[in-house]
Amino acid sequence: MKLQDRLITERKSKAVFELAKQYAYNYMDNIDQMEVYPSDESLKLLENFDEPLPQNSETASAVLKQLNRYGSPNTIAQTGGRYFGFVNGNAVPASLGVKWLTDVWDQNGALFVMSPINAKLEAVCESWLKELLGLPSSTVAAYVSGSSTANLCGIAAARHHLLEKQGWDVNKRGLNGAPAIRIIAHEQLHLCVQKTLALLGLGTDSVEWVAADEQGRIKVNELPKLDSSCLVILQAGNVNTGAFDDFNTICKLAQDADAWVHIDGAFGLWAAASKALKHLTKGMEMASSWAVDGHKTLNTPYDAGIVLCKHPDALLNAMKATGAYLTYSEMRDPAHYGPELSKRCRAIEVWATIKSLGRNGIDEMIHTFNLHAQRLANGLESEGLELLNEVVFNQVLVRHPEEAITKTLLAKVQSSGHCWMGSTNWQGKTAIRISVCSWATTTADIDSTIDVFRKALQ
């Protein structure tokens, strides 16, 4: 059979899609029995992918079968309720269902003329996000791969704006001979911000780093004097402790100085969407740009970073591309707002998540992360661990008074297969870093995780 005929037949027969559905349902239904981290035996199966480059075509079903057989056991069971590693979310059902359909659509989200539905839902989500997070009405949103890229875009907008104020068009003239930008940054920023500063030609040597207090909040009284050439980079949700900077005080100082404040709120910005936790983000609406992920605390599928910027011109000018073949329309063209042209229609999954949960559902889900984190923290303290942070949001940092025991304890818990979390270095010592950010986590999951620690400690 000619290749094209075979592909047409495969699409028509639907066999591969039916099989995918069957594997997917099986995976979902067995998620709670699965080892949260693959066993060594499973990991060995990965060798089945060490094959020479295939010369001839294979049926779609055969390809899928191989992936399911050796791939499924080598996933992390993060869609169950007991994965507490890094800060990973768990796509809510509506967002996953919508993703399946949009995968079939296979749209290129760059321009209105390439995908009217994506352009429309980007605009709808932009206005919903402003309302949910309490951001100024002039704010625009771009949908990017994650907060690494969202931080890059926000800081690129800041760079453009701060140089333009000094009569310098960075798009044309670059940075050689440019007036200086002063960068004032929290010393415990996520490592992606350093990467961003390198990519944008700003570097890290000239950054005026500001120390953090014992909870990981920037020390306001150590902030240098700000002026209109300043970019201040703050954090909503410290990567370890989940702590929030004092936006209210710092943003006021920045406003008086006409400085730009960028907030990395990858997972923490969502505190603003919860009545009980909103106080943590007080004053953050006075900043100029924000980075946030859908795929962490909001529980959208991956590939859902969002940059929000109060100065549309700064973001759009920083992201400007001109190409004679690009057909811009009267409608929103997503490519104007971010660094990419071809891209997945990520905003559709953000839309589905917000629509499925609603404002009250988002509030409930995020508040529950905090309640579960507190329950876990209290339980682990009762087992004799030291709690190292105030559990203001979804992060819990614990350790055993003895460094060596902390390490063996974590290794035991990780190899239990029952739950998984990672480690970090906190104030010079190893700490167990736990993040609660899955809609699927139940109180029973929290309690059984405490049990695993208890047994491991015995």
Ligand X SMILES: *Cc1c(COP(=O)(O)O)cnc(C)c1O
- For residues 77 and 86, what is the distance between their CA atoms, to the nearest angstrom? 13
190 binds ligand X (CB under 6 A): yes
- Please choose, out of 65-73, 104-112, 142-150, 349-357, the segment that lies near ligand X by the rule CB under 6 A: 142-150
307 binds ligand X (CB under 6 A): no
In whole angstroms, how close is the CB of 147 to ligand X at the nearest point? 3
CB of 252 to ligand X, least distance (A): 23
Burial of 161 (0-12, 13-18, 19+ CB in 10 A): buried
Nearest distance, CB of residue 296 and ligand X, angstroms? 6
- Bridge partners of 230, per DSSP, are 182
- Residue with token string 């008074």: 401
Task: Select 245 or 293, whichever has its Cβ closest to ligand X.
Answer: 293
Task: Provide the minimum distance between the beta carbon of 263 and ligand X in the complex, in angstroms, as a whole number.
Answer: 10
Binding to ligand X by CB under 6 A, coded x per residue (else -) over 225-244, reads ------------x-x-----
From 52-60, 144-152, 168-176, 349-357, give the range in contact with ligand X by CB under 6 A: 144-152
CA-CA distance, 353 to 270, in Å (whole number)? 13
Identify which of residues 147 and 353 has a Cβ nearer to ligand X in the complex: 147
Q: Is residue 154 within the footprint of ligand X (CB under 6 A)?
A: no
Ranges within 251-270 binding ligand X (CB under 6 A): 264, 266-267
* Smallest gap from residue 67 Cβ to ligand X (A): 24
Euclidean distance between CA atoms 402 and 147, whole angstroms: 35
Strand intervals (E) in 21-163 = 140-144
For residues 323 and 458, give the distance between their C-alpha atoms in angstroms, rounded to a whole number: 66
Say whether 8 sits in a helix, a strand or coil: helix
Q: Which is nearer to ligand X, 188 or 416 (CB)?
A: 188
Q: Does 245 bind ligand X (CB under 6 A)?
A: no
Q: How far is the CB of 192 from ligand X (least distance, A)?
A: 5
Give Dmax over CA atoms of the chain in angstroms: 74
Task: Return the HEC string of 389-409.
Answer: CCCCCCEEEEECCCHHHHHHH
How far apart are CB 181 and ligand X at their closest, in Å? 21
Give the Cα separation of 432 and 442 in Å (integer): 21
Half-sphere exposure of 20 (CA within 13 A, CB side): 9
Among 154, 301, 305, 379, binds ligand X (CB under 6 A): 305
Provide φ and ψ at 133, rounded to 5°. Answer: -95, -5
Among 122, 293, 340, 363, binds ligand X (CB under 6 A): 293
**Cα–Cα distance between 102 and 272 in angstroms, integer?**
29
Q: Which is nearer to ligand X, 87 or 272 (CB)?
A: 87
CB of 239 to ligand X, least distance (A): 5
192: contact with ligand X by CB under 6 A: yes
Residue with smallest beta-carbon separation from ligand X = 146
Structure tokens at 165: 């104020």
**Alpha carbon distances (Å) from 445 to 34, 52, 384, 441, 458:** 14, 43, 20, 6, 20
Does residue 87 interact with ligand X by CB under 6 A?
yes
Region of 143-151, 314-322, 424-432, 449-457 interacting with ligand X (CB under 6 A):
143-151
- 294 touches 98 (CB < 8 A): no
89 touches ligand X by CB under 6 A: no
Q: 3-class SS at 21?
A: helix
- Report residue 215 CA to chain centroid gap: 22
Q: Which two tokens stand for residue 366?
A: 């995020």
Binding-site string for ligand X from residue 38 to residue 77, where x marks contact by CB under 6 A and - marks none: ----------------------------------------
* Span of 40-48, 50-58, 146-154, 396-404 interacting with ligand X by CB under 6 A: 146-154
Strand ranges inside 265-347, DSSP E: 289-293, 305-309
Q: Is 80 in the site for ligand X (CB under 6 A)?
A: no
**Which residue ranges make up the site for ligand X (CB under 6 A)?**
87, 146-148, 190, 192, 237, 239, 264, 266-267, 293, 305
